[in-house]
Amino acid sequence: MSYQESLAQWQAAKLPDYLAENLTSYTPEQQEDAFYQNLSFGTAGMRGILGAGTNRMNIFTVRQVTEALARYIDAQGETAKKRGVAISFDSRHFSPEFAKDAARVLSAHDIKSYLFSSLRPTPELSFTVRELDAFAGIMITASHNPKEYNGYKVYGEDGGQMVPEAVETIVTELEKISDIFNITLDLDDKNIQIIDQELDDKYLENIATITVDKELVANEGKSLKFVYTPLHGTGQYIGEKALQQAGFTNYSIVKEQAVIDGDFPTVKKPNPEDAAALEMAINYAQNNGADVVVATDPDADRMGAAVKLADGTFQVLTGNQIAAVLVNYLLTAKKNTNTLPKNGAIVTSVVSSRFASKVADSFGVITADVLTGFKYIAATIDEYEATKEHTFLFGFEESFGYLVKPFSHDKDAIQALVLFAEVSAYYKSQGKTFADGLQELFEKFGYFEEKTISLDFPGIHGNDEMAAIIAKFRDNQPSKIGDLNVIRTQDFSTATETTADGETAKLPQPKANVLKYWLEDGSWVAVRPSGTEPKLKFYIGVESSSQAISQSKIDIITSDLMTYTK
């Protein structure tokens, strides 16, 4: 169907006033962008700009994907339908409406829904799927995207983002639904159960187990001075409860950013990866004499932080740096208490730093590398629990996602928030700062630096433009990047690794459109398109004997990579 035909269908449909007005306001270019395709269902579901159209997030596209999910559950039988679907949502515009409509579509199929009455974090939704033995989960969120976006994540029965095989079935059903304006809703809500306090309490009981050294927190928790910002999202209610039950009471919350507001009025992007999002919290910290700043994104699955340096300024940490320090603290504690398993493993993505891996290796703990997407970390945890081959100790992605304990099967900023506070308290008890702890690891393991370059390719030609850049790499495999020789090339689309002298080996990960180049000095570069947004990402990781040398390497490699985009 052409975009003009899709547009005509929408123009003839009975739309809510706000969507009808939005539709009539489109320029010809906006019409094409809103209708040239259906919103794609990617790595973790679908995500898009709010508005009228097949390529937009709205009540009709939400009903459509939920109808596809319902048909998938129907095919699994009555037991799956009775186990039902847990549903939560964040602070974005239309999130409550999308969640309620999803529940009503499922109810029309006699599928049970467990619906939170108000916003809750993504990791609590993941926990809820597992706790209630639900068959699936839905989280209405666009995570850390700007205010114009919303999204729809689907979870499997293990509490992890739904695996590719199930997603393919849902996409097949999605493509069969041609009339998205007449999907049946159960307006009597007969299969919908509201869940709130009971699940909050159970989640918090599990969060209490994140604390490693209760005596340390009891001694230092009341005096550790830090600032927390939930960035207008779901983190405040559960995050504050988690901090307080652990024993951290001497913190300030950024009041302006504790207001639930889908416009995110104090930031351009509510993304703790973005240093600008932490500026207000850092100002709070400087005015209140705090040593640490922590931030969670709107659905509280990502956590970012900034720490005070000796000169009183604040350094915004990278996700890789945070992970390395947390891993060091956890493994040191286990070693000191003789609870470090001989088959321990941390799990991370192929585009994350080797910093935490090097720390883990010093404790005899292996690193398992998986594709980007926390569902692959969750699947690895499930594999370990089934085979007992390894014991999961920590999971992370460079994009500020961490998992300490697998009672959630997605990245969990509430877990990370509590552990980060404890590690800060630990260094305070030693007369040091978190920044000092990071510096100690640099001196011991080397100066690791990373950089992620994210290029936007919006619109109808975006995918083709991204594909052309990736094709440049595949058609002209680089033998050098910057001034360093490429010694191994990993092409995950063929699950093949090729050395500089032509030897090949199979990669253990599933096939994916990712390229990774290992350089002669241990540096690496990866190229991949985003699974949920029209973005192409370059990842760079280096290590050396000093920060200055590492930064110089980053700069040289960056300059070379940019030639592929021209």
Question: Choosing from 107, 113, 143, 353, which is the catalytic residue?
Answer: 143
Token couple for 410: 């997605």
Which spans in 318-461 are helix H? 319-336, 355-361, 374-387, 413-429, 434-445
Contacts of 43 (CB under 8 A, 6+ apart): 161, 372, 373, 375, 530, 531, 532
- Whether 349 is a known active-site residue: answer no
Do 203-311 and 447-565 agree at the fold level? no
- C-alpha 386/C-alpha 380 separation (Å) is 10
Token couple for 479: 């033998």
Report residue 103: phi and psi, to 5°: -65, -40
CATH topology of domain 203-311: Alpha-D-Glucose-1,6-Bisphosphate; Chain A, domain 3 (3.40.120)
CB atoms within 10 A of CB 310: 8
DSSP string, 88-99: EE-SSTTHHHHH
- Enter the CATH code of domain 38-195: 3.40.120.10
pLDDT tens for the chain, residues 1 to 566: 789 999 999 999 999 999 999 999 999 999 999 999 999 887 678 999 999 999 999 999 999 999 999 999 999 999 999 999 999 999 999 999 999 999 999 999 999 999 999 999 999 999 999 999 999 999 999 999 999 999 999 999 999 999 888 999 999 999 999 899 999 999 999 999 999 999 999 999 999 999 999 999 999 999 999 999 999 999 999 999 999 999 999 999 999 999 999 999 999 999 999 999 999 999 999 999 999 999 999 999 999 999 999 999 999 999 999 999 999 999 999 999 999 999 999 999 999 999 999 999 999 999 999 999 999 999 999 999 999 999 999 999 999 999 999 999 999 999 999 999 999 999 999 999 999 999 999 999 999 999 999 999 988 888 899 999 999 999 989 999 999 999 999 999 999 999 999 999 999 999 999 999 999 999 999 999 987 778 999 999 999 999 999 999 999 999 999 999 98
> How is the chain split into domains, by residue range?
38-195, 203-311, 447-565
Token couple for 164: 């590719």
Beta bridge partners of 252: 227
Q: What does the chain come to in residues?
A: 566
Instruction: Give, in order, the Cα–Cα distances in Å from 143 to each of 23, 128, 204, 212, 409.
Output: 26, 18, 22, 28, 16
Q: Report whether CATH 3.30.310.50 matches the domain 447-565.
A: yes
Check if the beta carbon of residue 141 is closer than 8 Å to that of residue 155. Answer: no
Pairing verdict, β 192-195 and 113-116: parallel
Exposed, middle or buried by CB within 10 Å (0-12, 13-18, 19+), for 371?
buried
